[in-house]
Chain A
Amino acid sequence: MALLEIRNATRRFGRFAAIDGVSLSIEAGEFFTLLGPSGCGKTTLLRMIAGFEKLDSGQIFLDGRDLSGIPPEKRPVHTVFQSYALFPHMTAFDNIAFPLRMAKRPEREIGERVLKALGDVRLAEKSDAYPRNLSGGEQQRVALARGLINRPRLLLLDECLAALDAKLRVEMQIELIDLQKELGITFVFVTHAQDEALALSHRIAVLNRGRVEQVGEPSSVYGSPRNRFVADFIGHISQIEAVVRESAPRHLRLEAQGLEITAPPMKSAVAGEKGIFAIRPEQVRMGLDDITDLRNHYRGTVESVLYRGDVSLYKVRLEGGALMEALLPNTGRTFGVNDEVCVGWRHDAGMYLNE
């Protein structure tokens, strides 16, 4: 059995199901992320694991033990809260010592372990500082050290990087990965930021309206989204309404807004059905007449250019009216608004989605 096993968990608030029949299994040592838009139920699910929300039906097992009826303080699960929830009347030292004191460890052992933990998060000199005198990043590290000091089986992290500015956030992301690798403690991380989820996680569960849409490694969630919601939520993607003309074992032939497209095969696709053709901007190539060797290539007009320094994001109106995004490095040829261009992609790029 996996370290954490969630079976058919459901939580209703009145008639609204915040968590609706969720099943997940999380392995020991994993960095697992619950990703979804606000209101998707990810924080509720986290609180169910921590013991702050009851389950209306279903079960949660930790190390094979059913957690129902076990209060939060008896679960070997600690949480790093979004607001950090550092105790304002305690110093950094006393905050980190809190879980050990509650576990009635001898004071000498507490002193040694807390000092080491403070050193590990590079806060050795801030031992006697109160939270109000610590910077956002320092508070964050105290909260992390406090959550980890008693070696929980599971550390839950609730949007805990959201309050940091962009640069510090990247630093903390790297620190989190290192810390998790070093300690081997299983992390369950909640976020609505897809870039953060992709960068940090071993596996991601995409949540929407209280249900799991897809579970998988970052590359599979990004590269092979199971449905339109996942494709849309994670990263940029262009979508065109499409009709299946032919469903072959090696390829699909689609007709989308007057374009003929050859796409990767999909077993469940049936000729005549309607769906979506979706493709990531970085899979799309753009040129003048030099990309006609690609199986899919069309004429179009540049509608807008978003310059980002290293790359530019182009929006191109194709013949037939479809809008396509292309992400190109600025090291090659660049284009301007109203330029007539040729746009294309490989026959195995993009995907057809019928959910």
Chain B
Amino acid sequence: MHRLWVLGVFIFLYLPLVVVIVYSFNDSRLNAEWVGFTLGWYRVLFRDDEMLKAAGNSLAVAFASSLIATVLGTLAGIAIQRYRLKFLNFLVMAPVAMPEVLAGVSLLLFFIQLMDMDLGMLTVVLAHVAFSVGFVAVVVRVSVASLDRSLFDAARDLGASPLAVFRHVTLPLVMPGIIAGFLMAFTLSIDDFVITFFTAGVGFQTLPLRIYSMIKISVTPEVNAVSTLLMILTLVLTLVAMRLAPEAIKGEA
């Protein structure tokens, strides 16, 4: 009985994904019945300039925003843990818990009305930094927390300046956490729709935005193909991040 329940839950979770993957190889325009195997939709996909451009934009935004978020989140995570900065913790974590629609609207207002900026890649990158800093900070904070505090004292004691302690002790020990944080930020960025929708403006399109505009007409097998690829990328990044993060928590001690 229990097993049936578990099976049911897994079917509910994964069947839609499996359908998307299977139909991306279906030799038919319609997602109705299985006709035969083809890689044709992937060929179509890689000839679709609009789609490729959107994918390029997504990767660029993801790289830029997760890089910035990783630097800021790492510093915040270390500072929160080492100096017990409760308020900074709150400031960094609040956007994580904020409903995305709310974050999207307030970022839009911030960019247009307060900063008088043109919407485009820059605003999307900044918006993505804002919501992913918190995630990086949490992962880094946990991996700092797992370290014996006397390691930092020992390094000072043995002649390392605060900067040298950071470079030779803190950074290498927290590195798995930092990489995990980076991959998380990357994953969050590359498939974000809501906040991107509000902050992208008219001329700029990312992959999720492109997919959304295509399914307004119909869910074509090309959408299935691009979704499959996005799914694989996300899955790989998440798996790598999960492998790294527990390591950081164990602290190798």
Contacts and interface: CB of A to CB of B under 8 A. Distances in A.
B227 to A, nearest CB: 40
Interface in A294-333: none
A85 B160 contact: no
Contacts of A83: 148, 150
Given A89-B252, A132-B253, A150 B159 contact: yes
B253 A146 contact: no
Task: Name the residue in A81, A82, A146, A150 with the highest tally of chain B Cβ atoms < 10 Å from its Cβ.
Answer: A81
B158 A78 contact: yes
Contacts of A102: 158-160, 164
A107 interface: no
Contact of A98 (B150, B155, B161): B155
Nearest to B160: A102
Contacts, number: 67
Interface residues of A, number: 25
A32 B31 CA distance: 83
Interface string B189-230: 000000000000000000000000000000000000000000
B153 interface: yes
Interface string A146-159: 11001000000000
B159 A73 contact: yes
A132 B173 CA distance: 14
B155 A103 contact: no
A98 B159 CA distance: 8
A289 B252 CA distance: 66
Nearest to B252: A88
Nearest to A103: B159
B127 to A, nearest CB: 36
Given A83-B150, A89-B173, A102-B164, A78 B157 contact: yes
Contacts of A146: 158
B55 to A, nearest CB: 37
A50 B157 contact: yes
Contact of B156 (A73, A103, A147, A150): A73
A82 B150 CA distance: 9
B151 interface: yes
Nearest to A149: B158
B157 A72 contact: yes
A198 B147 CA distance: 34
A146 B159 CA distance: 12
A233 to B, nearest CB: 27
Q: Lowest 7 CB-CB distances: which A-B pairs, in order? A: A102-B159, A85-B154, A85-B150, A99-B158, A72-B156, A88-B252, A81-B150
17 contacts: A50-B157, A52-B157, A73-B160, A73-B164, A81-B153, A81-B154, A83-B148, A85-B150, A85-B153, A85-B154, A87-B154, A98-B155, A98-B160, A98-B168, A102-B159, A147-B158, A150-B158
Given A88-B251, A98-B168, 16 more contacts: A51-B156, A72-B157, A73-B161, A78-B157, A79-B154, A81-B153, A81-B154, A82-B150, A87-B155, A88-B151, A88-B252, A89-B172, A89-B173, A89-B252, A102-B164, A132-B253
Interface of A: 50-52, 71-73, 77-79, 81-83, 85, 87-89, 98-99, 102-103, 130, 132, 146-147, 150
